[in-house]
Structure 1
């Protein structure tokens, strides 16, 4: 196997009785779960037991990647303090993908999540956009810092960590 080749875990049959119930970390109606399971022909730039990465189909910047948990995890509001290491891993994977694509200036990168109800897919996904300075008008609005609909990875980590202190 080549160094950059990823392996695909075996697809498990859906044995859940209820429609839409996650089965072993797979939600059969979730588009991102289907991408990670290779049921859809999207190129995976990274895939391991914990996180996967692929290009956004509507890029908001020259480099726009989505980094997702390989197993289904709900949106930002469903996270707890226990998810901080996962969020950090999503960010680290995003940085690795950028470096592989010769993006080394991390001061011109945006890492963040849409805040519910402003997310189109309920599978947790980190947007990695670079260079942020080259985003168009609509992308600057959609991925706007300090808005009601978008939260940076650092802000989410801080929010989740503060839950730990008050729990």
Structure 2
């Protein structure tokens, strides 16, 4: 059984969040611990634990996720300078909440995301 998440409560507006966008598929709100001047979480209204759990039936919803991200980037005046979209998957990918979501970050130079050289431990 899939467990409800804090995002489920935000989607239903049982918990306050600064919601920037909501429709029948996607809810977008400001992150409470922003990692950049603009940090928005775009969450699927359907509770899908990870990107590994999406199916062909989720295609419209996933497309909407990206469309909404571009709309919010334009509304926040970061589309021309650039922004980053991140989807984390499971523990090694840095996913903390088991509810599919995308991070939209911008408002300053974000630097490189991946090391240019592989490092061994």
> TM (normalized to structure 2)?
0.80
Q: Per-residue CA shift, 1:138-162, capped at 9, x if unaligned?
A: xx7xxx348xxxxxxxxxxxxxxxx
Matched with 1:71 is: 46
For the 8 Å contact 2:73–2:83, the answer to whether it is kept is no
Structure number with greater CO (CA < 8 Å, separation at least 6) is 2
User: 1:67 aligns to what SS in structure 2?
Assistant: strand
Mapped pair 1:40 → 2:20? no
State which of 102, 106, 109 in structure 1 corresponds to 2:83.
109
Whether 2:113 is the aligned partner of 1:130: answer: no
Q: Which runs of 5+ in 2 are unaligned?
A: 116-121
In the TM superposition, what are the counterparts of 1:22-33 in structure 2 within 5 Å?
Answer: 29-33=4-8
Maintained 8 Å contact 1:62/1:130: yes
Please report how far the alpha carbon of residue 130 of structure 1 lies from its aligned counterpart in structure 2 after TM superposition.
0.8
**C-alpha RMSD over aligned residues:** 2.2
Q: 1:52 to 1:110 in 2, by over 3 A?
A: same
Whose strand fraction is larger, Structure 1's or Structure 2's?
2
Greater Rg over alpha carbons, structure: 1
Structure 1 unaligned segments of length 5 or more: list them. 1-20, 147-167
User: Post-superposition shift, 1:42?
Assistant: 1.0
In structure 2, do the counterparts of structure 1 residues 96 and 145 end up closer, same or farther at CA, with 3 Å as the change threshold?
farther
Contact 1:110-1:132 at 8 Å conserved across structures: no
Cα pair distance change 1:64/1:120, threshold 3 Å = same
Does 1:85 pair with 2:87?
no
Structure 1 pair 72/132, CA: closer, same or farther in 2 (3 Å)?
farther
**Which structure dedicates a bigger proportion of its chain to helix?**
1
Query: 1:64·1:128 contact (CA, 8 Å) conserved in 2?
Result: yes
